[in-house]
Amino acid sequence: MANLLKLGLPKGSLQESTFHLFAKAGYKISSTSRSYFPNIDDQEMKAMLIRAQEMSRYVEDGTLDVGMTGRDWVMENRSDVVEIAELIYAKAGLRPVRWVLAAPANSPIKSVKDLEGKKIATELVNVSNEYLKKNGVKAHVEFSWGATEAKPPELADAIIEVTETGSSLRANNLVILETIMESNTVVIANKAAWKDSWKKKKIEDMVLMLKGALAAEEKVGLKLNVRRKDLEKVLKVLPALNSPTVADLQDKDWVDVDTVIDEKTVRVIVPKLKDAGAEGIVEYPLNKVIP
């Protein structure tokens, strides 16, 4: 095909949440455990599963037109790519991840200044070296192939590791000393692909739908019937994405109110709406919220 977008999807910890996001955005992706080429129900896209750590290199050299990875790995690889959008989601939820400096709880290491001459294990070698240089500390940074939390104190004095909740670090008796950086998932494009008008439009349309799906993740729709005389009281209770839609019903004494709210606020707001006179309250899920 003349018009084909080569899309890189992150294999590993982000894979399941990325597939879920694409599904909400309207793209059906299916893959077997052994395949690196998932099927996507868009004939103008060809998808490939790539480890997030490597994604930016393949986007930079044009093997892929566009890909999704962490900003941390773009920085680590020093890749010359175009950042199209930031999508705040991770393996465990809708939040950034943190790269942190951690050491055993009983270690004399209490800050970056205590790392002089010490050994640090991490996957993020280049960023870690820059961090040490910025703080005027000379230490040996060693690439870790995995199980980094288990290396102190025998195999390393401290580690620089990624975390969402810190639970794995605590389980290994490690204490977070400093946050090196925060990172989110980003959509990146090859520079030549971004200059191609067809590919650029295809990427922009995909990002629009992904952003809409992500915006809907923590929101729900609410429909309710309200007596016209109670409408002002109900609207004072009701927050809205913009402003609620109010429509007349066949019975002119009643109106229908439709709005979008944060899901976490529903349990607080619904009783207040009921007290203000709302009836027939219906909560419904959302797939996309497009600004």
Phi, psi of 82 (to 5 degrees): -100, 125
Say what the pLDDT of residue 127 is: 96
Domains and CATH numbers, the chain: 5-93+185-216 (3.40.190.10), 97-183 (3.40.190.10), 219-285 (3.30.70.120)
Say what the pLDDT of residue 48 is: 95
Q: What is the dihedral of CA 170, 160, 102, 169, to 10 degrees?
A: 0
Tens of pLDDT along 228-239?
999 999 999 987
Say what the pLDDT of residue 188 is: 98
Say what the pLDDT of residue 240 is: 65
Which residues fall within 8 angstroms of residue 7, CB to CB, at 6 or more apart? Answer: 40, 45, 46, 47, 48, 64, 65, 66, 67
Could you list the mean pLDDT of each consecutive 10-residue stretch along the chain, which spans 291 residues?
88 87 93 84 95 96 96 96 89 74 93 95 96 96 92 94 87 92 94 96 97 90 95 88 85 94 92 95 92 76
- CA-to-CA distance for 264 and 4, rounded, in angstroms? 40
CA distances from 83 to 42, 52, 185, 271 (A): 23, 15, 11, 44
Say what the pLDDT of residue 254 is: 95
Q: Where are the beta strands (DSSP E) in the chain?
A: 5-11, 29-30, 39-40, 45-51, 66-70, 82-87, 97-104, 119-122, 140-143, 158-163, 174-183, 185-189, 219-227, 245-248, 254-262, 278-285
Say what the pLDDT of residue 269 is: 94
Say what the pLDDT of residue 57 is: 97
Q: Which residue do the tokens 């989110």 mark? A: 184
Say what the pLDDT of residue 1 is: 52
pTM listed for this prediction? 0.84
Tens of pLDDT along 73-129?
999 999 999 999 999 876 555 678 899 999 999 999 999 999 999 999 999 999 999
Amino acid at 105: A
Beta bridge partners of 158: 120
Phi, psi of 96 (to 5 degrees): -70, 160
| Closest by CA position to 120, among listed 98, 99, 151, 95 | 151
